Amino acid sequence: MNLKHLFSKKEGARLTPELRARIQASFDHAAADEEHFPSTIDPRIYHVKLIREHLGELRGRRVLDVGCGKGRFARIFREQEPEAEIWGLDISEEMLRHVPEGIRTRAGSMTELPFEDAFFDGAYATESLEHAVEIDRAISEICRVVKPGGRIAIIDKNAEQWGRLETPEWEKWFTRRELERLLQRHCSEVTSRFISYWEDVEPDGLFLAWLAVK
C-alpha cells in the first residue's frame, strides 16, 4: 500500500483557492457523466437505510446532505418524508442543477459551511468528505452546524483499501480510528462499522460508516 495517500500522511494538505477551483471544475465536468455520477440510487441499498435509521424521525426536521452531488440520497429521504426540510450543499453548481425540486440547495465548501451554528437537526455525507482536503476543518464545520443531540452519519472509503479504485490526487480515504478521533472532538457518541451495499452481503472492507451523536 502506498502510505502517502493515507489521511494521516496528508493531514497538512490545504484547500488552496487553486485546488478548490480545480476540484470544483472537475465535478462540474463530472456532472454530465450520469453513468459514474448517477442522480438516483436504489432506496434498498444499505447506505441509504443506515443513514435513515441513524437520523431517526425526519418529519419537521432540518437535515443537511454535505457534498450532496445530484442529491440521490436527499431525493429518497424527501420522498420518504415530504415534511422533512432537506438541504443539499455542494461545491459544484453543475451537480446542484440535478437536485430535485423540494430540496433546498446551497453552493459552497464543506470546509466553510454557509450556515449558522446548530441550524440542522442532523447531517450526513456520502463519499464526499474524501474530497474535502482539509478533513479536520470539514468535520468541525459539519459538527458546528448540527444541534447538540443531533445525528451525523459519514460514509466513505477505508484507507486500508487504498489503491482499489482510481482516485484524483486530492482524494483521501480514512481509517476507522482517524475519523472516530476527529468526530470525538465534537460529538459525545461515535461508532464506526464496515458496510456493504446490501445488508445481507458481508462487507468487503471498502466502505466504512461513522455514526455520531453531537
Ligand X SMILES: C[S@@+](CC[C@H](N)C(=O)[O-])C[C@H]1O[C@@H](n2cnc3c(N)ncnc32)[C@H](O)[C@@H]1O
Under the criterion CB under 6 A, does residue 178 sit at the interface with ligand X?
Answer: no
CA distance 80 to 198: 19
Among 23, 143, 154, 212, binds ligand X (CB under 6 A): 23
Closest by Cα among 31, 114, 117, 123 to 77: 123
Q: Which of residues 64-93 bind ligand X (CB under 6 A)?
A: 67-69, 72-73, 89-92
By CB under 6 A, residue 95 contacts ligand X:
yes
Closer to ligand X by Cβ: residue 52 or 60: 52
Residue at shortest CB range from ligand X? 69
What's the CA gap between 174 and 177, in Å, rounded? 8
**Binding to ligand X, residues 134-173 (CB under 6 A):** none
**Cα angle, residue 37 at apex, residues 122 and 25 outer, rounded to 5°:** 90
Smallest gap from residue 188 Cβ to ligand X (A): 25
The distance of closest approach from Cβ of residue 67 to ligand X in the complex, given in angstroms and rounded to an integer, is 3
DSSP 31-43: TT-TTTS-S---T
Applying CB under 6 A, which of residues 105, 111, 158, 192 lies at the interface with ligand X? Answer: 111
Distances (CA, A) of 63 to 107, 120, 181, 205: 16, 6, 23, 28
Residues within the interface to ligand X (CB under 6 A): 23, 27, 67-69, 72-73, 89-92, 95, 109-111, 126-128, 131-132
